[in-house]
Structure formats: structure tokens, C-alpha cells
Amino acid sequence: MTKGPETRAKQAKNKKYMLIRYGRMNTLGLFEHHESTVSKVHSRVVIKTHRGLELGHLVGGLASYRGGQFKLSAEQITECYDEGEVDFSRGPAGKFIRYATLADVSEERHLRKIVKEEMECCQRFIKEMNLPMKIVDAEHVFGGERIIFYFMSDGRVDFRELVKRVAQEYQTRIEMRQIGSRDEAKLLGDVESCGQQCCCQRFLKHLKPVNMRMAKMQKATLDPAKISGYCGRLKCCLRYEDKNYTELKKRLPKKNTRVKTKQGRGKVVDAQILTQLVMVEYESGERKAVGVDEIEILPQSAPDKKQNGPAKNAGRGRKDRKN
């Protein structure tokens, strides 16, 4: 009985995994396989997930694998891709079935055409049932096990009857997923103002919050029309350098801080985060930009103890005389 867990652990350790990107939301996952080698070039693969058979993209070339095994552990992948804001599911996500054939890719194209008809049908049912929701996109799983509809709504929607009608129409399992404006941009996004494809659609998978503080720190224009993305919210790229800006800002002294440089003493009137330059106003009234490594912060002047001492004694004396 004691050998059981050890045997299972050894088997799990010897299993080989591929890192694969799959699904409409481009999720990353580790998939068990029994191939002796891994394709040297970008390849399409057929995988088995909890949703059924799906087509995915093999991530990483030959250099990412050793003996058919992906080099990084699940923890290392998570740490690596968390910094890159990529959605990654911990643990095995399913099994590798085979490398995709031309017939598989052709079937995928056929399903994409069918999806448009399925969206129109679902939207028609929504209109007939007067439901407060809008179909944004749909995904027909490769194996035909289910159709996933992505919709937007201002609040919660009871779509149980809708699911029944659509399932009856297509004789398959139906799944409804409510999404927000950022997810809509990820599904439908085009080219952004920078001339590149929307980050959320191209590589950004984990959509973390972005706030106005980031734009102010980077001294970007605060015009909403210029700092808002395809989704109408603050651009995700404002987060890319926020960590570096925050660390660099910590090195700079605050305004009105008394400092000393080779030119003399003065106070800080401004600072530049990226260049790490501090604008110092000297006692003569002259202003000059100095590197943060060239300044010495002077201690704040302490309160005059002589003035406070007699006041306290005087108060105590009056109290004594009163008693």
C-alpha cells in the first residue's frame, strides 16, 4: 500500500507535455503526449480538452523541448507568462491527439463559416424573447461537442430558455459566456492607433486593471480620446512600463526637498523620471538640472527646542502657583 503513491508520482514525473495555445480566448495549457520528438516548426495540433476535440497551436520550437518534454515546469511557465500577462492554466489541460492534417484545417474553416449562421440564429431568438443581451462572437468546438456563445449585457440575464431553443435547433450542447468591453475587443479587435494589431488580441491574455495614475506618471496626454483603446477604456499599454516608472520614481526626491550639489545648496522644484534628472533651484535663484546620483539630500531642520522648553515650564509654573 505504501508503494502506491510513490509509483503514481514516478509515472506522473515521466509523462511528457506540450505547451499549446487553444480556444477563441487563446488559452495556454500543458497537454500530455507520447511523441518521441516535437515538430521543429509552428504546427497545428488536435487536442482533447474538457470541452471536446479542439485545434490548437504548438508553442515554442525544437529549442523549447528536450526529448519531447517541454523544458519549463508548470511553475516556471506560470511565473514567466504571468509577467507577460498571458493567461495560463495550471496543471495539465488535456491530451495531445495528433498533428493536424489538411482535412482538419479545412474542417476548421468550414466551422468558422457555420458559426456566423449560428450567431444570426441565436440573435434572432434573443430578439423574439426580448432578452437584454447582444451576441458578440461564437466558437464551434472542433469535435462538434458544443457551441460557445460570447455575449454582452448590462446585468445578469436568465438565458435558460434561450439555451434550450438553440440546443434544439443544432442538436448539440450550448454554452453562454458573458464578457466585458475588454473581452469584446480581444475577440473583435482590429488595428490600434499605434498601427499594430490590438495587444489583447495579438498576445495580451490576462487583462489587468489600468488607471489614470499610470497615464499621469508617464506624462501621457490625458485626452480620453487619445488614451482610450478599441474597447473605449484606458489602453492596456499604459501598464507595460508602470513597474519601471514606479521603481525609478522612488529614486527621485520630492518637491521642495533641500539638497546639496557641487554648485551649492538648493531645493528640488521638478524631476524627470526616465532621465533621472532633478531640477534644483539654488539660493541664488539659478535653476539647473542635475543627475539624481549627483545630489545629496539634506536633513530637515529640527524644531527649536529652546522655544518649546520655556513655554512648557511656564505652563507648569502657572499650574503650580494656582495650586
Give tens-digit pLDDT for 287-298. 999 999 998 998
**Mean pLDDT across the chain:** 80
Residue 220 scores a pLDDT above 80 = no
Query: Which pLDDT does position 81 carry in this prediction?
Result: 54
Candidates 153, 163, 154, 84; CA nearest to 122 is 163
Distance CA(49)–CA(71), nearest Å, equals 22
CATH code of the domain made up of 251-297: 2.30.30
What is residue 130's predicted lDDT score, i.e. its pLDDT?
94
User: pLDDT at position 304, please?
Assistant: 44
Query: Model pTM greater than 0.85?
Result: no
The arithmetic mean of pLDDT across residues 118-131, rounded, is 94
pLDDT in tens, 140-194: 988 788 899 999 998 889 999 999 999 999 999 999 999 888 888 778 777 888 8
**Separation of alpha carbons 28 and 204, rounded Å:** 12
SS3 84: coil
DSSP element (H, E) containing 255: none
Exposed (0-12), middle (13-18) or buried (19+): which is 258, by Cβ within 10 Å? middle
Q: What does the DSSP 8-state code read for residue 299?
A: P
C-alpha cell at 84: 507577460
CA 150 to chain centre: 20
Question: From residue 84, how far is each of 11, 42, 88, 207 by CA, in Å?
Answer: 32, 21, 11, 11
Q: Which of 9, 50, 14 is nearest to 33 (CA)?
A: 14
Q: Cα separation of 264 and 295, whole Å?
A: 10
- CB burial class (10 A; 0-12, 13-18, 19+) of residue 77? buried
Q: pLDDT (tens digit, 9 = 90+) per residue, 229-284?
A: 888 888 888 888 888 999 999 999 999 999 999 989 999 999 989 899 999 999 88
Q: And the C-alpha cell for 220?
A: 501621457
**Mean pLDDT of the 211-240 span:** 84
pLDDT of residue 87: 47
Confidence of residue 314 (pLDDT cuts 50, 70, 90): very low
Element (H, E) at 224: helix 224-227
* Domains in the chain: boundaries: 3-100, 105-179, 183-242, 251-297
**Tell me, which fold does domain 105-179 have in CATH?**
GMP Synthetase; Chain A, domain 3 (3.30.300)
Contacts of 123 (CB under 8 A, 6+ apart): 134, 135
Amino acid type, 278:
V
d(CA 97, CA 51): 14
Question: What is the phi-psi region of residue 126: left when phi exceeds 0, alpha when psi lies from -120 to 50, beta otherwise?
Answer: alpha
